Amino acid sequence: MAAIKPVIFKLSDMYFGVDINKVIAIEQSGNVVPVPNAVDYVEGLINIRGEVIPVYNLKSKNGIKASVDGANNEYILVWCKNEKLALSVDSVEDIKDVKDGNYQPLPIICRGEKNAYIAGIAQLGGKLSIIIDVDRLLTKEELEGLSMIKD
């Protein structure tokens, strides 16, 4: 696999990453307005520099329990296909260069329809980081649903 440069972030005690080329900005916590009757993984909407952007809860998507205090501290704004999306994360840790030998695909036994968005695993300083392909994060139905919420 080719070398990558992900933005590394934490969800609870797990490390994840997204390709820096898909990242628009990293924002500190903001005022998220809940959307009534939205699916679990949509926290709501956030206004960033006059633009309303859906907030996507990666903990819900990945089956990770919510923090005890329920607070998410930062948002990674990404391009997901042609939509802007704010990924709700506990903290952004770093931006790393991952060499070829430290990046590999998800083992076959771990792959499935529900985690098709996992691009691979990066080994960084003795820790494993799950690298997310944001273009595969949302299903077609989820992408349509987010577009409807935003409109």
Average pLDDT over residues 30-36: 87
Could you tell me if residue 14 is left (phi over 0), alpha (psi between -120 and 50 degrees) or otherwise beta? beta
Tell me which fold the domain 6-150 belongs to.
Answer: OB fold (Dihydrolipoamide Acetyltransferase, E2P) (2.40.50)
pTM for this structure? 0.87
Please report, for the chain, the start and end positions of each structural domain, with discontinuous segments joined by +. Answer: 6-150
User: Sheet harboring 118-124: ordered strands across?
Assistant: 91-95, 6-11, 14-19, 127-132, 118-124, 103-104
Q: Compute the distance between CA of residue 39 and CA of residue 19 in angstroms, rounded to an integer.
A: 26
Band the pLDDT of 150: cuts 50, 70, 90. low
Range 109-133 average pLDDT? 90
pLDDT in tens, 36-78: 888 878 889 999 989 999 999 888 877 787 765 556 579 999 9
For position 54, what pLDDT does the model report?
Answer: 92
74 φ, ψ (degrees, to nearest 5): -140, 160
3-state DSSP assignment of residue 26: strand
